[in-house]
């Protein structure tokens, strides 16, 4: 009790203040956090250690270092082709979603449109629907359209399912850009599209980047939709390939599997770090880490 | 008013511009074809006996409420619904929210290096692709895996012994960062005067959280619970990659049952009907979420 009361008040952020004495609750807090941290770290460490171990097992252990697993995976045509597929799938999804979200969000933020508020509520509602579960009717639609087994048509469905949230996100970013600049450009006689291209676009770059990165991270990890809508081995993105490897007991070595999923995870971690470092104000996520 | 009529349209109010429709068109077309389209199409084939292969794949017919009555008598569907509730309530609503809140509170009070490291590790677990999480938790829970060594039973495969518990833990492990970040932001935005007042009045830490902080965080908690429910309801990848719904049907939640009915047992119609149940439940929670955040629109 008294130890707690002696602590300085910390309303906004925790400020490091030299403790006169280390209180029991402060010790407990940090010990519990270290234990929780181990619970999160241990499963991850297995992947890192197994990837450089010449004889890995299911359990985490000190590796006998080798780079053979990495050279193995980088020499596999199926592993490389799944990276290519993931890039096409996630790249196409991201471009389509971001461009359409920007085009839709601008008038929703700036212009007078009848029933605008209802439309935004509908968009918010749509972004909460479990769209991936509609993969069964979409499969049947794609059979009729002859769209099965193409990364581009698969990306279109991924784009449609991520669009509502992307519009929502983008509109909030555009709302934050001062409207006066556009009024000035309009008074000078610039057309709507010119205002969008030369005034709004440069000011909305953080919003566009966050929307694009968010969409890319989701599409990069998407599993059930490409799993159902594509079938030829060349069109399998990373997650489906890793799933197939997990099922082929013995055909794929632990070490290779660890390397493959490690390499597949690196891009999204890098993108997330980039996003949280440069645009932390946009999400307020930084404070939890820093 | 009469004056306004002679002077033309009012200029002090924004007018409707046709170019706005032009900009809304591409997104709306995509949403109509590949979002609303599948919803409406699901509403149709969910009430048919469409099959993936065989004669019923071409020559299918409208069967009215047959799929609904079939569901009510389907042991797997009932068990699957129960498992879905267990998963969403246990792993997401209780596990993720409670651990997320605990982490947010502890991180706030921890020393800086520990806060930075533990916070980052939890967030990395969240950013990792789901399939990676499925693989590392598969490895973690195998016989001879790290978990079996920690618990001292190296011959026990926990993914077979307690499959639902393991997939729930893996899901909690992956998603807790979301709730942690939501609650951290909520705690940061609390009015400091109120907290100071409570502290000056001599309220204990426990009382401060119970009587002051948690009530102030109520809107954040409600938002978190709704979002977490929506996000976990359709969880497929993690469970499917770890267990394919097994052993037996021990981890066959509704999303996995949808996939199996449609693409393993070839019952596209019945599978769609089950997916409609999921979409309806999702729609209900999404509606609650829209109501809760209506003031922000």
CB A56 within 8 A of CB A49: yes
Q: Does the structure show a pLDDT above 80 at B286? A: yes
- Residues 131-190, chain A: which have Cβ within 8 Å of B? 131-141, 156-157, 159-161, 163-164, 167
- Judged by CB atoms closer than 8 Å, whether chains meet at A59 and B144 is answered as yes
Count Cβ–Cβ pairs < 8 Å, chain A vs chain B.
317
The number of distinct structural domains making up chain B is: 1
Question: Kind and range of the H or E element at A225?
Answer: helix A224-229
**Is position B40 within any domain?**
no
Q: Which residues of A touch B122 (CB under 8 A)?
A: 36-37, 40
For the cut 60, the answer to whether the pLDDT of residue A3 exceeds it is no
Structural domains in chain A plus CATH codes:
2-66 (no CATH), 71-289 (1.10.3720.10)
Q: Which residues contact A123 (CB under 8 A, 6 or more apart)?
A: A164, A167, A168
Per-residue model confidence as pLDDT tens digits over A205-216: 888 999 999 999
pLDDT in tens, B26-60: 999 999 999 999 999 999 888 888 888 777 777 78
**Which one of B17, B101, B118 makes the best mutation probe of the A interface by having the most chain A beta carbons within 10 Å?**
B118
What percentage of chain B exceeds 90 in pLDDT? 45
Query: What is the Cα–Cα distance from B166 to B187, expressed in whole angstroms?
Result: 31
pLDDT digits (tens, 9 = 90+) for B189-229: 888 888 788 878 877 778 888 888 888 888 889 889 999 99
Residue A279 has pLDDT above 80, yes or no: no
pLDDT of residue A13: 54
pLDDT for A100 beyond 90: yes
pLDDT digits (tens, 9 = 90+) for A222-238: 999 999 999 998 899 99
Distant-in-sequence, close-in-space partners of A185: CB < 8 Å, separation ≥ 6: A194, A195, A198, A199
In this prediction, residue B297 carries a pLDDT of 59
In a domain, B272, yes or no: yes
Q: Is the pLDDT of residue B13 over 50?
A: yes
Nearest-Cα distance to chain B for A255, in Å, is 12
Whether the per-residue pLDDT at B64 is higher than 90: the answer is no
User: Which value, to the nearest 10 degrees, does the dihedral of the CA atoms of residues B191, B195, B198, B204 take?
Assistant: 150
Q: What is the pLDDT of residues B217-228, one digit of tens each?
A: 888 898 899 999
> Could B110 and A268 be called an inter-chain contact, meaning their C-beta atoms sit closer than 8 Å?
no
Q: What is the CATH number of the domain that holds B282?
A: 1.10.3720.10
Does the pLDDT at position A6 exceed 80?
no
B168: containing domain: 66-296
Residue A290 binned pLDDT confidence (cut-offs 50, 70, 90) = very low
Between A96 and A200, the more confident residue is A96
B49 assigned to some structural domain? no
Question: Residue B8 has what pLDDT?
Answer: 59
CB within 8 Å: B263 and A57: no
Alpha carbons A239 and B189: distance in angstroms, whole number: 38
């Amino acid at each position: 009790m008294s130890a707690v009361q002696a602590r300085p008040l910390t309303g906004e952020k925790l400020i490091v203040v030299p403790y006169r004495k280390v209180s029991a609750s402060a010790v407990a807090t940090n010990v519990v956090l270290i234990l929780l941290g181990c619970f999160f770290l241990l499963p991850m460490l297995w992947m890192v250690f197994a990837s450089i171990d010449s004889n890995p097992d299911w359990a985490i252990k000190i590796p006998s270092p080798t780079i053979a697993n990495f050279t193995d995976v980088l020499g596999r045509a199926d592993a490389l082709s799944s990276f290519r597929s993931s890039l096409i799938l996630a790249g196409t999804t991201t471009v389509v979603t971001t461009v359409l979200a920007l085009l839709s969000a601008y008038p929703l933020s700036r212009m007078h449109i009848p029933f605008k508020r209802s439309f935004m509520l509908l968009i918010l509602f749509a972004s909460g629907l479990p769209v991936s579960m509609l993969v069964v009717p979409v499969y049947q639609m794609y059979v009729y359209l002859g769209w099965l087994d193409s990364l581009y048509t698969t990306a279109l469905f991924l784009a449609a399912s991520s669009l509502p949230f992307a519009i929502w996100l983008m509109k909030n970013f555009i709302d934050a850009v001062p409207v006066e600049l556009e009024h000035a450009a309009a008074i000078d006689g610039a057309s709507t599209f010119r205002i969008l291209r030369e005034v709004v676009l440069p000011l909305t770059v953080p919003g566009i980047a966050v929307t694009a990165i968010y969409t890319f991270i989701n599409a990069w990890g998407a599993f059930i939709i490409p799993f159902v809508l594509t079938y030829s081995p060349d069109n399998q993105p990373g997650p489906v390939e890793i799933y197939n490897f997990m099922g082929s007991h013995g055909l794929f070595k632990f070490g290779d599997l660890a390397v493959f999923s490690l390499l597949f995870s690196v891009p999204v971690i890098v993108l997330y770090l980039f996003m949280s470092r440069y645009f932390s104000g946009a999400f307020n996520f930084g404070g939890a880490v820093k | 008013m009469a004056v306004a009529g002679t002077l033309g349209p009012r200029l002090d109010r924004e007018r409707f511009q046709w170019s706005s429709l032009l900009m809304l068109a591409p997104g709306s077309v995509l949403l109509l074809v590949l979002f609303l389209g599948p919803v409406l199409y699901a509403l149709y084939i969910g009430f048919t006996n469409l099959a993936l292969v065989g004669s019923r794949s071409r020559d299918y017919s409208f069967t009215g409420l047959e799929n609904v009555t079939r569901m009510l008598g389907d042991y797997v569907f009932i068990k699957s619904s129960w498992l879905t509730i267990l998963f969403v309530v246990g792993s997401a609503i209780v596990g993720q929210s409670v651990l997320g809140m605990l982490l947010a509170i502890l991180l706030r009070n921890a020393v800086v290096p520990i806060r930075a490291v533990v916070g980052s590790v939890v967030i990395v677990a969240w950013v990792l692709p789901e399939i990676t999480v499925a693989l590392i938790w598969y490895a973690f829970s195998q016989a001879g895996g790290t978990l079996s060594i920690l618990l001292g039973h190296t011959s026990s495969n926990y993914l077979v012994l307690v499959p639902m518990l393991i997939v729930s833990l893996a899901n909690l492990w992956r998603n807790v960062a979301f709730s942690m970040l939501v609650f951290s932001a909520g705690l940061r935005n609390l009015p400091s005067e109120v907290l100071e007042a409570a502290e000056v009045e001599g309220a204990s830490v426990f009382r401060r959280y119970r009587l002051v902080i948690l009530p102030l965080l109520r809107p954040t908690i409600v938002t978190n619970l709704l979002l977490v429910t929506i996000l976990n309801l359709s969880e497929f990848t993690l469970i499917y990659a770890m267990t394919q719904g097994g052993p037996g049907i021990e981890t066959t939640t509704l999303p996995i049952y949808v996939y199996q009915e449609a693409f393993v047992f070839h019952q596209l119609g019945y599978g769609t009907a089950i997916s409609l149940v999921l979409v309806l439940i999702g729609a209900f929670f999404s509606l609650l979420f829209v109501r809760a955040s209506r003031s922000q629109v």
